[in-house]
Amino acid sequence: MGRSRAPKTFTEKAATAVTSLPPAEEEINPGAVEGTDLRVLEYPHPLLRAPNEEVAAFDDSLRTLSAEMFSIMYASRGVGLAAPQLGINKRLMVFNPEGKKKAGSEVLLCNPQIVEMSGAKEVEEEGCLSFPGMSADVERSGWIEVEFQNGRGKTVRKKYVGWEARIFQHEYDHLDGVLYVDRLDEAERARVQPDLDQLVEAHGPGGAL
């Protein structure tokens, strides 16, 4: 998911619209990142829509891959990244709500499952590393309880609230081939459609790195 924009109250949001605060630091596609050959796939790459397999081996290659995912996520100024965004169609995601190495906590989730989620929804702005330079308001559950396997294959149950719950839901969608632009209301979708058309034009319907 894109760069952390601290969740805003309605009032703060309205205020930023009428003042000249500097824009939030936006996510970027860093291209080549040292220590890995993997790149972030941009919309409309077909692997973003492909089915994703369960993680079966909790071995050194998983540790290497997750370290590369964190490197790419930080280089992209992101707060979350799902394996299919790198063309690896596995049910694996990483996130760090602080978006900075050594700040906050790094989370690696394999084969996550939703146990329960709040009926109450919140609308906040999201970006996505596969859609550079754009963001849109998305409705998500305010909290979510999940079960997943950690990097050693141990099953963990955890409840995420607010910003972390939002990041989880965004990345979880990637594991089902769902992208955040699929979840926009009609007005938001219409607003970002020119950006989507531009990405399709830049990469072709088959997508690109």
Please answer whether residues 140 and 169 qualify as being in contact, where contact means their C-beta atoms are separated by less than 8 angstroms.
yes
For residue 20, the minimal CB distance to Zn ion (Å) is 29
**Closest Cα to residue 141, out of 171, 158, 121?**
121
* Nearer residue to Zn ion within complex by CB, 58 or 195: 195
Which residue among 171, 186, 188, 201 is the active-site one? 171
Residue 129: CB minimum distance to Zn ion, A? 6
Q: Which span sits near Zn ion by CB under 5 A: 41-49, 63-71, 121-129, 196-204?
A: 121-129
Stretch near Zn ion under the rule CB under 5 A, chosen from 23-31, 56-64, 93-101, 126-134: 126-134
Nearer to Zn ion by C-beta: 55 or 73? 73
For Zn ion, which residue of 48, 65, 128, 134 counts as binding (CB under 5 A)? 128
Judged by DSSP in three states, 136 sits in: strand
| Position with the least CB separation from Zn ion | 128
Binding residue count for Zn ion, defined by CB under 5 A: 1
Comparing CB distances to Zn ion, the nearer of 58 and 125 is 125
The radius of gyration of the chain from alpha carbons, rounded to an integer in Å, stands at 17
Which two three-digit tokens encode residue 18? 């009428």
Active site residue 171: yes
Tell me which residue of 97, 61, 63 sits closest to 81, measured CA to CA: 97
CA distance 173 to 14: 29
Of 14, 54, 43, 34, the C-alpha closest to 197 is 43
Provide the annotated active-site residues: 171
Q: Which residues bind Zn ion (CB under 5 A)?
A: 128
